[in-house]
Each structure stands twice: as C-alpha cells, then as structure tokens.
Structure 1
Amino acid sequence: MTANEWAGAAARNNAEWCDAVCRAHGLSGEFGAGSWSSARRTPPLYPDAVTLTPDASPMDLVSRIDTGSPGCSVKDSFARLDLAPLGFDVLFEAQWIHRPSDKAVMSQSAYVSWAPLGDADALPAWETAWGDGEEGSGLFRAELLSHDTTFLAGTSAAGEIVAGAVVSRSDSVVGVSNLFARGDVPGGEESAWAGVLTEVARLWPGLPVVGYESGDSLDAAVRAGFTPIGPLRVWLRSE
C-alpha cells in the first residue's frame, strides 16, 4: 500500500472509533461515500465528521452536521478542505502514522505491567489516569468494550494505572488512540508505545498499526518505529 492508502485506512479506522464512541452515547453516526458524520453534536473531544477520501465535499459535509451547537468540529483527514469560508478555524494539525507488523518492538519498562482492562468497572479509573488525575466524566462507556476495541492499562507495582491507550481493530489495521503516560513513568510515551505495541502484537498478530500524533508525541511515535504518512487537520466551528 502507498502512504496515501495507509492514510485512508487510518482515517477509516479512526472514524469507526469515533462512531463507536457516539453509539455508546446513544448517537447514530452515518458512513457516506466520502465521510463519516453525526447529525447531532458528538461527545466532548470527538469530531462531528471525519473525511474518508481526499475529495470530500465541504458543503455536503457541513450540511450533515450540527453547526449551530458549540464545539462542532471536522477532522479533515487529508488536510485538503478549506472550511474557513463556512465559519471554521483550524484547531490543530497532525500526522497520520503507520508501523508495519513485522517491525521489532522496543523493550518494555520493568516499572509498568500491561494488560487489557478486564471489565467496565475499571473504566472510571482508566479515564481519570488518562485525564492526568482529573476525575472522569463518563466519556468512555461500557458499550465500548468489545472484541474490536480494547482499553490497555499500564499498571505500576502499587496497582495504579500510570499509562494506557485505546486500540481498535478494523479490516486491515489496528488503530491506537488516547495514548498516555504519567510524568513519573520511566521512558514516558516511548515506554508506553513499547507496552502497547507488545500487546497489539499479542492480540492481533500480523496487523499493521496506525494512528495520528503531533509535536513531541509524534517524535516519540517515530522513535517507536512509526512513519508519518500524511497530514490531517481538525477544524473547529468559530464562536
């Protein structure tokens, strides 16, 4: 596959994850020819639409989402759209990343033990750790725990969740999102990537891994063996 094709697979995987989050909150998203979208406002931090092809129509996309509610956003998966004339500003830019399945994984930190969350009762603690200690609001719900989606937790010797990620399988790739590591975890995000990639290889052997990152987190992903494969842009509806 070319870099553009991998980016398309990553965008589709990410849209499926966004759709799963919405459905867990009682919202029905829709997959169209060039994008995924939700007619009702999505949960916090999740886009109202994700483009799946480079030639998605801006007007068609915006007509299918609730632009009248605060926080409306669009994930422009190929950084091709100009949504400024339609009342949007660029919130951030990032890079899709890809890692082949046959690449060796770095050694894990002995400080952290990795495993999937066993049941929904552990989700509040996972969300609090992901939020850097801020008590969770119930963003991640029990309906998300399925054979296609796994919440990975890195646990210290004291039994605290100090690192984690969400991994979601689609037809041809495994997507990683929401990766985090507490400040006192040796190796930080690089250590988290080592633990996550080891678990992904165990759970879904032979599948390549995708996701998106920016800034220092992108640098950590590259050191963990990922290759940037194309830009994306998130647009936020102007106040």
Structure 2
Amino acid sequence: MTMPNPDAVRAAAYNNARWCAAMSRSHGVEGEFGPQAWTAPRRTPLYYPDAVTLTPHADASALIARIDTTAPGATVKDSFADLDLTRHGFTVLFDAQWIHRPAGPPTREPESAWDAMRDPAALRTWALACCAGDEDDAHLFRPGLLAEPEVLLVAGRDARGSVVAGAVASPGDGVIGISNVFAKSGDLTAAWPVVLDAAHALFPDVPLVGYEHGDALTAACAQGFTPIGPLRVWLRR
C-alpha cells in the first residue's frame, strides 16, 4: 500500500535527478537543474531520462522545450505522475513507486561481503555483472563515474571474489538513493541485504530512497522499504 509522503518524494526525485545528471556527465552530456525539473539539452545515455521533474505539476510545455525531441526516444521521468504528455507525442513507458526505508541495518545477514568500486577495472567487472554480461549495456558505466562524489558503486562478492550482487548508491539531498540493484542469480532478495549492509556501514544515519515496480518492488518492500508515491516514465516514439 502506498503511503503518500510529498517531502520524501521530492527528496527522492532530486536525488535521482542527481544520479541521472552524473551518468549523463560521464557521457559528455551536461544537464541543467531548473526550478521545476532537471533537463538535458541533448539525448542522454540509453535507459536514462532526458528530464526529471522536481516539483508537482511542472509546466509540461516548458519542460519539453528544454529537451531534444528531434528524433524518437526522448523520455521524461514524471516524478509525481501528474503530467499528461500525450499532446506532446509521448506515451507511458511504465509506472513505478518511489520507495523509502529508514536508516538501519538489513533485516537479515548478507550472504556475501561487499566493497566499493574504486578503479576502472573493478568498475568494468561490476558493470558486466550488473548487465548480465551484456557488453553494450556494460559500456554505459564509464570511468568518469568514479570521479563523481555523489556516486558509489557497491558490489557483493562470493568466496572466490566474483561479483554476485550490487547496486548504485547516491548520497545527497538528505537521503541515499539506491538504484540498479542486481543479483547474478536473478534473486533480488539475495542482493538487498548486501546493499543495505553497505549503506548502513557507509551512511549509518541516512534514510534510503529509490523506485521500483513489479517483482523488484515486492523484493524491496520485503527488506523494509515502503512505497511513498507514484512516478511515471514517458517515451516519445
């Protein structure tokens, strides 16, 4: 059940926009934070939005004017699920829920130890594990991310040192954003304790936020997250 929390959603939206901005910078795309939204003037990396709204009821026309719609594929993360972008040629790609978890340790012991990626070789190993070996998707995670102060890539390793789970942790705006959660086994219930253990060790007094949908939302809620509000991602085909 969703428990609406506008302040927490705003913090989550700003935090997520900062992560999207960092990913875009690593690809040479400089976005801009405005009063109502973060936007990028040219196409962002695959899977990452061209705009993220930061306040309810953002001006849709002004937002669309700040992104590149000259070719198909532009996306907008409607952080409050309150826009209608159909007249601008967009359709709904998916709906999801922002989630929030108070600061604290995982509810059960992680099955693997964790560490943070500090060099390009480690980043490459992490990216391949995160992307299930897909070379093209793994190349989205470029070494420039390692220089971003608000980005931490966490890996859980098995006894042989192989990366078996992980996530991106993004501190900022009074929260820790958790995204790109993965488990080599495909079972996110094994990944979350590792991620939560790392977050608690590194940021012991800071709550966690993120967004999920479907089975991934169910897995997050089983680890102490609560849905706090809807979001919607729009695509211009």
| TM-score tier after normalising by the smaller chain length | over 0.9
Residue of 62, 65, 77 corresponding to 1:63: 65
Hey, what does 1:106 align to over in structure 2?
A: 107
TM-score by length of 2: 0.94
The gaps in structure 2 that reach 5 residues or longer are none
> How many Å apart are 1:25 and its aligned residue?
1.1
The gaps in structure 1 that reach 5 residues or longer are none
Q: Letter of the aligned partner of 2:30 in structure 1?
A: S
Hey, what does 2:75 align to over in structure 1?
A: 73
CA distance in 2, matches of 1:208, 1:65: 32
Hey, what does 2:166 align to over in structure 1?
A: 164
TM-score by length of 1: 0.93
Segments of 4+ moved more than 3 angstroms: none
Residues 1:199 and 2:198 aligned together: yes
Hey, what does 1:125 align to over in structure 2?
A: 125
Hey, what does 2:140 align to over in structure 1?
A: 139
Contact 2:110 2:197 in 1 (8 A): no
CA distance in 1, matches of 2:71, 2:160: 43
Contact 2:14 2:173 in 1 (8 A): no
SS in 1 for 2:20: helix
Contact 1:94 1:212 in 2 (8 A): yes
After TM superposition, the structure 1 stretch with the greater mean CA deviation from structure 2, 39-48 or 175-184, is 175-184
Residue of 6, 16, 19 corresponding to 2:18: 16
Residue of 25, 28, 31 corresponding to 2:27: 25
CA distance in 1, matches of 2:9, 2:193: 22
Contact 1:41 1:69 in 2 (8 A): no
The superposition leaves residues 127-175 of structure 1 with CA deviations (integer Å, 9 ceiling, x where unpaired) of: 1111112224521122212432110011122222111100000030000
SS in 2 for 1:139: coil
> How many Å apart are 1:191 and its aligned residue?
2.2
Residues 1:151 and 2:153 aligned together: yes
> How many Å apart are 1:49 and its aligned residue?
0.2
CA distance in 2, matches of 1:71, 1:162: 32
> How many Å apart are 1:16 and its aligned residue?
0.4
Q: Letter of the aligned partner of 2:127 in structure 1?
A: E
Q: Say what the alpha-carbon RMSD is for the aligned residues.
A: 1.4
The superposition leaves residues 95-116 of structure 1 with CA deviations (integer Å, 9 ceiling, x where unpaired) of: 00000114x4222343x22111
> How many Å apart are 1:70 and its aligned residue?
2.7
Q: Letter of the aligned partner of 1:131 in structure 2?
A: C
Identity over aligned residues, as a percent? 51
> How many Å apart are 1:69 and its aligned residue?
2.1
SS in 2 for 1:89: strand
> How many Å apart are 1:81 and its aligned residue?
0.4
SS in 2 for 1:13: helix
Q: Letter of the aligned partner of 2:201 in structure 1?
A: R
CA distance in 1, matches of 2:162, 2:202: 23
CA distance in 2, matches of 1:221, 1:204: 19
CA distance in 2, matches of 1:60, 1:79: 17
